[in-house]
Every structure is written in C-alpha cells, then in structure tokens.
Amino acid sequence: MTPRLPKYLELADRIRLDILHGALPAGSVAPSENEVAQCYGVSRLTARRTLNELAQRGLLKRSRGQRSVVLDRAGPHRPVLYAPGQSDAALEYVPGAVYSVSAFRQETADAIVAAALDLQVGAPVAHVERRARVDGAPIMLLRTWLTSRLAAMLEARDFEDRLFVQVFQRANLAIARSREAPLACVADAYQARELDVAQGVPLVRVRRIGYSVADVPISLT
C-alpha cells in the first residue's frame, strides 16, 4: 500500500506544478484560501495549510491582509532551509510507490555523519536503508543515519512502507525543521546496482539534516 500524503501536501504539489509550468507566472496573484477551498472541495484550514506550505517552499509570498503573490521559481526565493511541518514527506512521496527496508543496523559515525549530527567521530548511530519502487522497479534509494537515542525508540519494521515523517509521528516524535541541499551526481557502482541503472548515469542526490524541537540535529538522509 502506498503511504497517503496529507491532503494539503497533495494540493501544494498540484499548485506547485501550475507555478513551474507557467500557469501561475511569477508576479501573478495566487488563489486565495477561499478559492483553493472552493476549487478543491476542502476546508478553509486545509487551504490555508496548502498556501503556507507553498510559501515555505519559496513559491509564494504571503502577507497578512493581502493576496499571496507567486515568486520567481528560478530566483533566490527557493529555500534550502525551511520549517517543514510535514514538508519532508513531499521529498519522499512518489504516487504508487512501495517503500521497503533493506538494512537497519548499528554503526559508528564517520567524519561526514558525525559533522552532520554534531557527534564525535566513532559515536554510535543507526543506519536505515530503504528503497522506493513503482511497479517493482527501484526509483529512489534512501539512506538515513539516526542518533543512537532516537534509534532506540525505533526498529526496522517501523520503516516498512511508511514515509519518514510517518515513522516519527508513530513514535510521537517530530522534526521541527530540516536543512536540505540537492546536487547533481553520477551513479557509482553501488548506486547503479541498487537502482538498476548503468554506472555513470546522471542522478539527483538530496542531502537532508533533520532537527528536533530543541534544534539539535537528529537525522541525516
């Protein structure tokens, strides 16, 4: 079963496509909360969360008492740092995808993981590896490192066919904000094997650090 994305994130993705494809050009007035609610048959609260999500992604400018304005999708407004609510779900969600766990093990943090999670090199961490497949074909490889304290609250089956944010919700945990950075790369031997592609083909890699409510880094994906 494919994890269900919250309705406001579904709507945010639909409106985002309108912006990216030019149906809502930069500088134009975005739909109001009432217009979103009426157009998609949702509550005013869901419409508000949808527009707030688009603002967090840097696609809209929202001001109290004024209509939202579409921002330049290629300009400096696109965020690297954002307060997600459930924005992390949008990074993993693929319609029709099935998510499976291929590894869940204890490791020691190398220099990269230690720096991201503000730990000492060699500190204990948990490594979770998941794959997203559509019609049996792998489309995404998700590798996550968790602090040992966080990992103690979870086990491998918690990650089966769930989005990362849903795993945290079931454990009564929350990521207050995330810092993410996309970059272009080419598939190395390991990635090529796991994604069933030729070595050297172009890929998009997203590095994301999740922070707790206390603003402490707790996950690296």
Per-10-residue mean pLDDT, the chain, length 221 = 66 76 81 90 90 82 84 45 42 67 88 92 90 84 86 75 67 72 83 88 84 83 85
Residue 165 pLDDT: 67
The single-letter code of the amino acid at 132 is A
Inside any domain, residue 192: yes
Distance from C-alpha of 122 to C-alpha of 128, rounded to nearest angstrom: 17
Please indicate, yes or no, if residue 81 is contained in any of the structural domains: no
143 domain residue, yes or no: yes
Query: Residue 86 to residues 7, 56, 120, 182: CA-CA distances in angstroms?
Result: 11, 11, 29, 18
| CATH code: domain of residue 30 | 1.10.10.10
Which of 16, 49, 76 is the last residue before a domain boundary?
A: 76
pLDDT at 43: 92
Q: What are phi and psi of 179, to 5 degrees?
A: -120, 120
Full residue range of the structural domain in which residue 133 is found: 91-220
Q: What is the pLDDT of residue 95?
A: 62
Residues 202 and 149 in one domain: yes
pLDDT, residue 76, reads: 36
Length of the chain counted residue by residue = 221
Res 24: pLDDT = 83
Considering the domain architecture, whether residues 143 and 34 belong to the same structural domain is answered as no
- Residue 115 is predicted with a pLDDT of 92
How many domains are contained in the chain?
2
Residue 181 burial (10 A CB sphere; 0-12, 13-18, 19+): exposed
Q: Is residue 82 part of a domain?
A: no
